[in-house]
Structure 1
Amino acid sequence: MKKSKMILGMSLVAITGLTLVAADHIDAPSVTGNAADITDFYAFQGQDTNNMVFAVNTQGLLTPNSTAAAAFDENVMIEVNIDNTGDNKEDLVIQALRRGSKMYFFGPYAPSATGKTSTIDITKASGSVDISKYGATAVTSTENGMKFFAGPRDDPFFFDLGQYQDVIAAKATAFKTTGFDTFAGTNVLSVVIEVPKAKLGTAATLNTWVESKKKQ
């Protein structure tokens, strides 16, 4: 299945032992409110220090009433890109795609091409998980040494939008402590992948970013 790029998440460097975050709420009009809208990307060392965790949040600002009806799009693939050579090109990808009530995962493996288009190598399937339902117990699965989750979660990103706007407008000079969480009470749809570091190469530093790609 060939894909075309819809939106590129922020690039970041993930160093073993650190938690690093990229966030992008509201400011992408072409994808706001649909399944291609990436709101946050987190990369961090797992509780098992032999593992890395990649968490991708999509479809931000879901109210409790709208969360139950929100769904991953079967025509939108979520792709985690991993550069382990320092050239800012993906050496490995981990891909997630919904089919029915499950999320299927592929990789990590070397992509057939880099950049805007991707293909899924169905022979490199790493596992699947039932998509968790809003208000129900979270469902996870473990296959091939990897752990998976897909479903609704409370938006974890804290941001005081009002104070930010005041700073930009020169009505304030700094953020408040602790400030007001603009995203409190809203939800996202999340995909979480925990993968052994051994599957990611031997580099001490990884450059990783996330994309959503629409089926052509």
Structure 2
Amino acid sequence: MMSELDRTEHEDERIVRALEEDIIFGRLAPGTRLTEDSLLSRFPVTRHFVRQALVQLEQMGVVVRERNKGATVRSLTADEVRQIYAVRELVQRQAALLIPLPARQSLIDELLAIHKEHGEHIESGYLRGVHETNDRFHLTLFGACGNKYLVQTIELYMRFSLPVRANSMSDRSALDIAHSQHALMIEMLKGRDNWVLAQLCVDHLQPSKKRYIELVET
């Protein structure tokens, strides 16, 4: 039988997962207000569960909560995007430079398996799978740098940039380009040139950044 604590965690997770999907896949646009009453009408839970879910979403970086204003889907200005991506470029370049090359075969095999799954999700149109395998690919890749604090920073700024990355999820050509760049990263791991790998990791960030900035500046 499910304990009260387990039930609480299950309900929180269900709400967070549903709202995260709505945000990632564009069903809730940046700036959309998330009132407790509207969420209570959608989910048959107590106000406590809704508030806990909003706290988790804020920690993930996809929701902003302000006193006397409530919660809104996180939106970013063009300047905020440039600043976030300046940090992403720095930390991802540094992580790539620290990966021992040629990489061990076990890492290459693991990335190939994730890459295959990522491609299958693109083909089937399963966007949650695309999102999750994309993040797993990058965290596995950069995890090879051997600096857990650097990887934690990368993961944090991946969360900060989620509105930017989510904007490209519905663009099949953008997904195909990202997928092909993942394949190139794996090939670079077989060589000895960390600088080429690092530049590829930085170039990989540019299309979604450019697309989002163009959207908010028009």
Name the larger-Rg structure: 2
Which has the higher relative contact order, 1 or 2, with Cα contacts under 8 A spaced 6 or more apart?
1
Q: TM-score, normalization: structure 2?
A: 0.25
TM-score, scaled to structure 1: 0.26
Q: Which structure has the highest helix share of the two? A: 2
